[in-house]
Structure formats: C-alpha cells, structure tokens
Amino acid sequence: MKSSVITFPGSNCDRDMDVALKKFGFKNKMVWHADAELPKSDIVVLPGGFSYGDYLRCGSMASKSKIMQSVINFANSGGMVMGICNGFQILVETGLVPGVLLRNKYLEFICKNVFVKINDKKNKYFKNVNNEVLELHIAHNEGNYFCTNDQLKEIEDNNQIAINYCDENGKIEDKFNPNGSIKNIAGIFNKEKNVLGMMPHPERMIDRSLSGEDGSLFFKNLINNLK
Amino acid sequence: MKISVIITLKKDVLDPQGKVIHQTLDGMGFDDLNEVRQGKYFEIDTKETDNEKAKAKVEEMCKKLLANLVIENYKIIDPK
C-alpha cells in the first residue's frame, strides 16, 4: 500500500506520520507542498503542525498551495485523504469536509491524552476496529469544531461524525469535551467517507514506551482495510 | 488605490477572545458594555484604478481567502 504525506512550511508531525505509516507496512513518500503532482497513492495524509504559522486562519494558506489542487482532485475522485490536527484544519478550509475549527473554548492550548468513541465503522478508516473507544493524543489551540445548524443536520443525517470526545467507557458528555466542539465532535468525514479529518494524533500512540498503542490499532486496521 | 476590508464573526459564532476582552474592560471600569466582538481589518493596495473593478476583485479575495463564510462576514469599505 502506498501513502503520501504532504509537508507544508510549518508542518511538524509529518515525520512522525512517516514513521507510523512505515511501521505498519505502508510505502510512504513525503511530498512537498509546492509540487504539483501527487505520487500514485492509496491514501494521502495532511499532517499536523502549524502550516504558514497559522496566519489568517489555521490551514487557510496551506489549503491554497499548489499540491492541494491535486489532493482535492484525488479526493473528489474517491481517493482516501486523511487530515490530522492542522491537516483537519486544512481540510475544512478546502471545503472537502464541512464546518470550521475555532479557537478552543477556554483559550488554552490543550496537549493531553483523550478518549474518543468511534461513531461510524462503515468506512475504510474504522471498519474492523474492535474497540469502541480509543485513547489518542490531542495538541491544539484551534480544535473547537463548529458548523451551521443546516450543516449539522446534514452531517448527522449522513452519519458523517467519525469520532466524539468521551470518557474511557465511551460516555459522550460535555465534561469530556476538551475544546468546546459541537456535539463533542473530534473528527468528521465527507459525505462519501473517503475523506477524514480529526484533531487527535494516532501517529503519537504507536509505541507503548512513548504514550500508548491505540494508534497502532488504527494504523494496523487501516492498511488491512485498504488491501 | 487602497481598499479596506473588515471581517467580523457572524452573530451566532462564539468569540472567546471578544468575551475575555469584554471581561477585562469590565474589570478596568468600562462596566456598561453589552458585548465585545473581535474582528480583522485588511488594507489592500491595488494597481487597479477602476473603483468598481477593484472592489469586485477584493470581493473575490474575501470569498476565496480572506474570510471563511461559514463563520465570518466581510465588509468592503469604499475607497476614497
């Protein structure tokens, strides 16, 4: 399986993602934002970081970079595109997934482990994951998911919510919402579910001696689903 | 020609920064405020000399980059 990770100026989780993808069997290529062509890929990943210093709005500049037109075309033709953290912010700015990510409700940069509940498994990202709840890491200042009421209705009607913030037992309540996101949303799909944006970093949870291994479950499963 | 643009958050969008500024102003003694909302201001100096054409270009910029229309409104100030 072939993957591509896009590096923007200011990306800083691109190499972590490279390590994670390779660890679970992907042949990964790093792609520079100013390139026009995307290598042949089974999945494209927009990594975390601070592309363009978060100027204007997080992800807004990166969403207009040269490579993104190829990524948008790839996604629109059914290709799998996953955006993590800043990658999620870039995805909302392209319009590939609905909504926006606002400043965290309590104006704090949040860096901690959280639990998320998988809301939908009828997709290539979470199909066959045995767990209902994953422990993943978040590190962001703008992760407060927001969308209009019309968008929310559409998202819910199409079951586009991928994961919600919850407690370790999967209980989704306001007190387990770290950043003020509507409905505790931590990740969403596009309508066709080939595009996934999420704030948590699975690539940071692939080693027991670092922070945990629930990210390993995610990547192992992902490559199997793509085969 | 210089054209200015003001970007503001839409009415229903939470503005935590505006809220904190409001609270701080309140603490400083400006305690008769109903609300404070924070926005962005741009000054765009363009080579275009035709007023209407320049405004149309800036409007396109607002829609494509300067504002995110899910959460923000833009207002183009008439060049003088």
Q: What is the pLDDT along chain A (227 residues), one digit of tens a residue?
A: 999 999 999 999 999 999 999 999 999 999 999 999 999 999 999 999 999 999 999 999 999 999 999 999 999 999 999 999 999 999 999 999 999 999 999 989 999 999 999 999 999 999 999 999 999 999 999 999 999 999 999 999 999 999 999 999 999 999 999 999 999 999 999 999 999 999 999 999 999 888 889 999 999 999 999 99
- The 10s digit of each residue's pLDDT in B33-71 is 999 999 999 999 999 999 999 999 999 999 999 999 999
The Cα-based distances of A55 to A59, A62, A99 in angstroms read 8, 10, 19
B71 touches chain A (CB under 8 A): yes
Q: Give pTM, 2 decimals.
A: 0.93
The pLDDT value given to residue A211: 81
DSSP secondary structure code for residue A128 in this structure: T
The pLDDT value given to residue A12: 97
The pLDDT value given to residue A141: 96
CB neighbourhood size of B30 (10 A): 11
3-state helix, strand, coil in chain A (%, to 5): 30, 30, 40
- All residues of chain B having their beta carbon less than 8 Å from the beta carbon of residue A64 are 64-65
Active site residues of A: 85, 201, 203
The pLDDT value given to residue A150: 95
Nearest C-alpha of chain A: how many angstroms from B7? 11
- Report the 3 state secondary structure along A183-198: HHEEEEECCCCCEEEE
B6 and B74 Cβ atoms separated by less than 8 Å: yes
Which domains, from first to last, does chain A contain?
A: 2-226 (3.40.50.880)
ipTM score: 0.81
Would you call A146 and B14 a contact, using CB atoms and an 8 Å cutoff? yes
Would you call B71 and A144 a contact, using CB atoms and an 8 Å cutoff? no
**Confidence band for B80, pLDDT divided at 50, 70 and 90:** low
Q: Is the per-residue pLDDT at B79 higher than 90?
A: no
**Which helix (DSSP H) or strand (DSSP E) does residue B75 occupy?**
strand B72-77
Would you call A106 and B13 a contact, using CB atoms and an 8 Å cutoff? no
Candidates A46, A32, A57, A41; CA nearest to A198 is A46
3-state helix, strand, coil in chain B (%, to 5): 35, 25, 40
Place of tokens 């075309």: A73
CATH code at B13?
A: 3.30.1280.10
Q: Which residue of A has its CA nearest to B18?
A: A107
For residues B79 and B76, give the distance between their C-alpha atoms in angstroms, rounded to a whole number.
9
- All residues of chain B having their beta carbon less than 8 Å from the beta carbon of residue A93 are 68
The pLDDT value given to residue B74: 97
Nearest C-alpha of chain A: how many angstroms from B65? 7
Token pair in block for residue A57: 């709005």
Place of tokens 């199997």: A224
Would you call A93 and B17 a contact, using CB atoms and an 8 Å cutoff? no
Mean pLDDT across B29-35 = 96
Give Cβ neighbours of residue B28 (< 8 Å, ≥ 6 apart). Answer: none
Token pair in block for residue A45: 């990943």
Q: How many domains does chain B have?
A: 1
Burial class from Cβ neighbours inside 10 Å (0-12, 13-18, 19+) for residue A120 reads middle
Residue B48 belongs to what domain range? Answer: 2-77
**Confidence band for B16, pLDDT divided at 50, 70 and 90:** confident
